[in-house]
């Protein structure tokens, strides 16, 4: 089975292309992972580390007001949260590219800043994964910089989203996890922005017990 799944903070979309299948494997416990039609967990399996590139592309009209390098360290920190929890490198930031955001299948795992957002205004980001059988072969993370502002360090800015917290969530999707409706999970569907009175509410950087149990099912 070849499938494509787009996951973001607020909306989930599915599409599938059917191809010839052999003997059906036994169903697995979901462990909060996306599952294929045979109820197997969808993941990268042994094909790790998953290498992501960060797109440095900024449209000319935004180059004086947006600097993507502000977020590079936050993205690396978020990847290492999962690596440390699993005890080995499953996510690697391979570097920066000037490649434009791409929503298609190109065999490149890309993190991009989208100024021309094509989804819902309530989505802070969206992760798209493609798989065959139960193995993911590509993941793309798109960050909605049209409708949201983000801070990249430890000092919250009012009405902005913590990039580390956001990317921990999106990397969870990239590894195969789906949304979890639990208050102690980094995979909750929504992420708060920093407020004037409760700026620390913007931070959601620690994996909960449910996240640790889930990810260790596969990695």
pTM over 0.85, yes/no: yes
Question: Which of 132, 171, 166 is closest to 149 using CA atoms?
Answer: 166
pLDDT at 197: 83
pLDDT at 89: 98
pLDDT at 107: 86
pLDDT at 43: 98
Cβ proximity of 187 and 58 under 8 Å: no
Positions in the chain whose pLDDT score sits under 70: 1-22, 103
Q: Taking phi first (over 0 means left), then psi (-120 to 50 degrees means alpha), and beta for anything else, what does residue 192 get?
A: beta
Identify the CATH assignment for 2-17+26-215 out of 2.60.40.420, 3.40.47.10, 3.40.390.10, 3.40.33.10. Answer: 3.40.390.10
Cβ proximity of 124 and 145 under 8 Å: no
- What confidence tens digit (pLDDT) does each residue in 94-129 have? 999 987 777 677 889 999 999 999 888 999 999 999
pLDDT at 25: 79
pLDDT at 183: 83
* Residue 180 to residues 33, 34, 60, 102, 219, Cα–Cα distance (Å): 10, 11, 38, 27, 18
pLDDT at 198: 81
């Amino acid at each position: 089975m070849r499938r494509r799944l787009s996951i973001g903070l607020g909306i989930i979309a599915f599409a599938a292309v059917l191809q010839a299948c052999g003997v059906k494997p036994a169903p697995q416990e979901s462990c909060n992972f996306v599952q294929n039609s045979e109820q197997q967990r969808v993941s990268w399996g042994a094909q790790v580390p998953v290498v992501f590139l960060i797109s440095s592309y900024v449209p000319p009209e935004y180059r004086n007001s947006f600097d993507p390098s502000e977020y590079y360290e936050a993205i690396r920190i978020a990847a290492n949260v999962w690596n440390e929890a699993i005890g080995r490198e499953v996510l690697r930031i391979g570097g920066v590219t000037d490649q434009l955001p791409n929503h298609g299948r190109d065999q490149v795992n890309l993190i991009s800043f989208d100024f021309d957002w094509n989804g819902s205004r309530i989505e802070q980001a969206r992760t798209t994964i493609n798989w065959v059988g139960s193995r993911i072969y590509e993941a793309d993370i798109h960050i909605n910089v049209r409708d949201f502002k983000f801070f990249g360090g430890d000092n919250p800015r009012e009405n902005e989203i913590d990039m580390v917290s956001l990317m921990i969530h999106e990397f969870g999707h990239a590894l195969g996890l789906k949304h979890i409706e639990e208050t102690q999970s980094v995979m909750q569907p929504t992420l708060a922005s920093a407020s004037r009175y409760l700026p620390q509410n913007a931070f959601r950087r620690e994996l909960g017990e449910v996240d640790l149990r889930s990810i260790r099912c596969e990695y």
